Amino acid sequence: NLPDARPLSLVLVNDGTHCSTPQVYRALDEARAVAGDITEKGLTNQGDFCNNLCLSLHKGEAKAVAEAVFNDLESPCFRLFPRVRQTAEALKAAGCEGVLLCGSGATVCGTTDSPEMGERVLAHPALQNCWRASAYRKLVSLSLPAGS
């Protein structure tokens, strides 16, 4: 158990774009076929994902948490729906340490290291015409697998 984890704030933003899930998956399949890449990264980067993510959550390291996950659908979604990419860029410009597309779009999640920063991000002028929400959670304790 890792007591006294630091807080972490998540910011969710959706600009109202309708992203067709079948269209996004088709674009991903087409890009993989062209590249000859049939591997699927899914939602995690390679490596010791569980331990790295758990330790980053415990330490409240917003950037490390964001870097621990990956969404294969992000690139095709951003290519097909530039407004969603612009929303992600606005989150970064507003101060999010990490930004990740949720599912096949159009909601984008940003991580910050405090609820105050999360609220400042939501107040950014580029995000005012979007649906916005912020969540703040202090992880009370965390159990890692044996030998970690």
Helices (H) and strands (E) in the chain, counts: 6, 4
Q: Report the Cα–Cα distance between both ends of the chain, in Å, rounded.
A: 11
Distance of CA 103 to the CA centre of its chain: 10
pLDDT digits (tens, 9 = 90+) for 6-58: 677 888 999 999 999 999 999 999 988 888 765 655 555 555 666 777 777 77
Distance CA 95, CA 99 (A): 10
Q: How many residues does the chain have?
A: 148
Specify the pLDDT at position 54: 73
Phi/psi at 85 (nearest 5 deg)? Answer: -60, -40
Specify the pLDDT at position 3: 53
pLDDT digits (tens, 9 = 90+) for 75-121: 999 999 999 999 999 999 999 988 999 999 999 998 888 888 888 99
